[in-house]
Structure 1
Amino acid sequence: MGQPNAEDEEWCVTAPDPLTVSVVTYSPGEHLDTFLDSLRLATTRPYRVVLADNGSTDGAPERSASRPEVTLLRTGSNLGYGGAHNAALVGVTDGWVVLANPDVRWEPGSLDTLLAATARWPRGGAFGPAIVDVDGALYPSARELPTLGRGIGHVLCGWWWPSNPWTASYRRERGEPVEGPAGWLSGSCLLLPAEAFHRVGGFDDSYFMYFEDVDLGARLDRAGWLSVHVPSAVVVHTGGHATAQAADRMRDEHHRSAYRYLSRLYPGRSRAPLRWTLAAGLWTRAALSRVIGRVGQGAAPQRHSELLDSETR
């Protein structure tokens, strides 16, 4: 792994002060209160929260803005997930930033555990916790960067053959979770140095939903930073609160973003047949996902949170 792009300066991560937590909201309901209440127990460090609101109509962001640590930012339109985080972090150029969904519940001390890991990985550009769903399944939140072959195999087989070799390789679901670098980390809960986030240009807001975190991980990697999975830090993610409000559109966005990312890996006329094959597979899967009523995330998680160190649970 190469050095970060810098002018002959030593890259060193220091103490996280200030700490800014960016949360994208779209009628988050009671999830937002749970997020903010659990965050208070997740760290002993001072922090501020920016709610980047994409057009909520339930009043939850306004109620939460009465908390002293919370600032409400109305984005003016639905900018998508990455675009709203970008708006929240304009001018936040030092310290640390947390990017999160409002339907995350922090386990006590989990953010401090993430912050402690940064000392062990001085080239870390992103740090992600273990993400557990409400049923105890361990979500595969630290994955390899997708390639065309791995991506097509996962897209076509993951939803009906979850143990297929392409999905297992891509989602890194073999064995126990260990701390260390991954290709990319789930954007539902991330800790980053603000400098790293801005040096790579933040999120690519051409991704309205999905794959913005894959793309961010790829750009961090190219710039010389590591994406580090820290399974000793644990959060619980309800998932789907926003996507359920427009399920058909989100299914389409998932497949559109997958095509955007993978097709960019293989540009040029000579590779057009590869892109055609990819498009055919994705749109077939999109049609099937409409029939079976799933957003298109593929195989269900294959591991359980019992694999995590009991001291972190």
Structure 2
Amino acid sequence: MNRPTLSVVIPSHNGRDLLPACLESLRSHRPDGIDLEVIVVDDASRDGSAEWVNAHFPEVRLIRLERNGGFCVAANAGIAAARGAFIQLLNNDAEVCDGWAEAGLAPFRDPGVGSVAPLVLVRSRPDRVDSAGDCYAVFGWPSKRGHGQAAERWKHELAGEVFGASASSAFYRAEALRKVGPFDPSYGSYYEDVDLAFRLRWAGYRCVFEPNCRVLHDVSATYDHGSPALHRRMAKNAEALFWSNLPAGWLALALVPHLGFLAVQLLWKLSKGRAWPFLLGKGDAIAELPRFLKLRAHRRALARSAEARPRFRLGVAPVEAAVDHLAQPIRAGA
């Protein structure tokens, strides 16, 4: 069996109502001249999703998980099964647009590119941007480039390097994922893609934003953003990113700004009545701090094996490159 060029991996839990539009878009915009496989990972759904996929999209490879493991576990199962030289993670609440695959794969002609960020538009309001790649501010703030801005401006943006790609629709070089590892299951969901972006950069890879690759995303259709458990997990995951991944020089400079940022966040959470999950999440992070620090050895190992010196683009959207010159190329300092 010939190896496909692109594997599209769609993790799905109880997504029966979301999958039709997602899979139909892939069928309608199937690229010419690109061998494509589509993989749906059914994360122990109870709504008949798996049976529906088998009945209506027999060309789709279906992987059924017996136990619900969350986004990272489902995504990793799909990544492990994928045969493509390149892998796209696609949310079940997303739709691809015409020419998405050709545009998304084009930057990989440069062997130093490990991931590609599409222009992700809000499905209910395609004149607005969901993300144009991800940013990471040195004081510990992950964010989406262009979020909420007019799509017309970003459609004419030149392709260029960004910090990372949102897992709602990110493309990855399969070889790069094998080198750095897939998503860290301890994140569960939220910021797992930022952690992966950091690891790809530690390994010397770059991420490119490609505005001609467009995806529609039904923002946050999969998760309940009012859930205290979700806010607690996000608070912990934010600390995991900060302590596990920042280069040593950045970490020393960022400590005081990070503490100030946490204070501002706490005040905002207090005003919204969400302080308790936030504090619990930070408590969870303190308990796991020794593990976070141990992960830094893995980052140093990636840097030592990298063909290109790791370089970090840290900043706040939309000027994430403003402090790029401070991130000196490094090999092993973490």
Greater CA deviation, 100-109 or 15-24? 15-24
Q: Structure 1: which amino acid aligns with 2:62? A: L
Structure 1 216/288 Cα, relative in aligned 2: closer, same or farther at 3 Å? Answer: farther
Is residue 47–residue 69 contact of structure 1 (8 Å, CA) maintained in 2?
no
Structure 1 146/64 Cα, relative in aligned 2: closer, same or farther at 3 Å? Answer: same
Is residue 42–residue 110 contact of structure 1 (8 Å, CA) maintained in 2?
no
Residue aligned with 2:186, SS: coil
Q: CA offset at residue 283 of structure 1?
A: 4.9
- Partner Cα distance (2:252, 2:67) in 1: 36
Structure 1 85/214 Cα, relative in aligned 2: closer, same or farther at 3 Å? Answer: same
- Partner Cα distance (1:28, 1:266) in 2: 38
- Residue of structure 2 in register with 1:261 after alignment: 241
- Residue of structure 1 in register with 2:209 after alignment: 229
- Residue of structure 2 in register with 1:307 after alignment: none
Instruction: State the structure with bigger RCO (CA 8 A, min sep 6), 1 or 2.
Output: 1
- Residue of structure 1 in register with 2:158 after alignment: 178
Is residue 252–residue 286 contact of structure 1 (8 Å, CA) maintained in 2?
no
Give runs of aligned pairs for residues 216-295 of structure 1, distance below 5 A. 216-244=196-224, 247-264=227-244, 265=246, 279-286=262-269, 288=271
Alpha-carbon RMSD = 3.4
Is residue 138–residue 254 contact of structure 2 (8 Å, CA) maintained in 1?
no
- Residue of structure 1 in register with 2:21 after alignment: 34
TM-score by length of 2: 0.68
Q: CA offset at residue 233 of structure 1?
A: 1.1
Is residue 133–residue 166 contact of structure 2 (8 Å, CA) maintained in 1?
yes
Residue aligned with 1:214, SS: helix
- Residue of structure 2 in register with 1:201 after alignment: 181
Answering whether residue 31 of structure 2 is matched by residue 43 of structure 1, we say: yes
Answering whether residue 129 of structure 2 is matched by residue 138 of structure 1, we say: yes
Q: Percent identity?
A: 24
Give runs of aligned pairs for residues 6-155 of structure 1, distance below 5 A. 17-40=4-27, 41-44=29-32, 45-66=34-55, 67-92=57-82, 95-119=85-109, 121-133=110-122, 134-135=124-125, 136-148=127-139, 151=141
Is residue 25–residue 95 contact of structure 2 (8 Å, CA) maintained in 1?
yes
User: Alignment length, in residue pairs?
Assistant: 263
- Partner Cα distance (1:105, 1:290) in 2: 35
Is residue 7–residue 38 contact of structure 2 (8 Å, CA) maintained in 1?
yes
- Partner Cα distance (2:269, 2:68) in 1: 23
Answering whether residue 193 of structure 2 is matched by residue 192 of structure 1, we say: no
TM-score by length of 1: 0.72
Residue aligned with 1:105, SS: strand
Q: Which runs of 5+ in 2 are unaligned?
A: 279-316, 319-334
Q: CA offset at residue 16 of structure 1?
A: 8.1
Q: Structure 2: which amino acid aligns with 1:38? A: S
- Partner Cα distance (2:104, 2:26) in 1: 13
Is residue 255–residue 282 contact of structure 1 (8 Å, CA) maintained in 2?
no
Is residue 117–residue 164 contact of structure 2 (8 Å, CA) maintained in 1?
no
Is residue 180–residue 199 contact of structure 2 (8 Å, CA) maintained in 1?
yes
Residue aligned with 2:136, SS: coil
- Partner Cα distance (2:107, 2:256) in 1: 44
- Partner Cα distance (2:138, 2:164) in 1: 13
Greater CA deviation, 170-179 or 191-200? 170-179
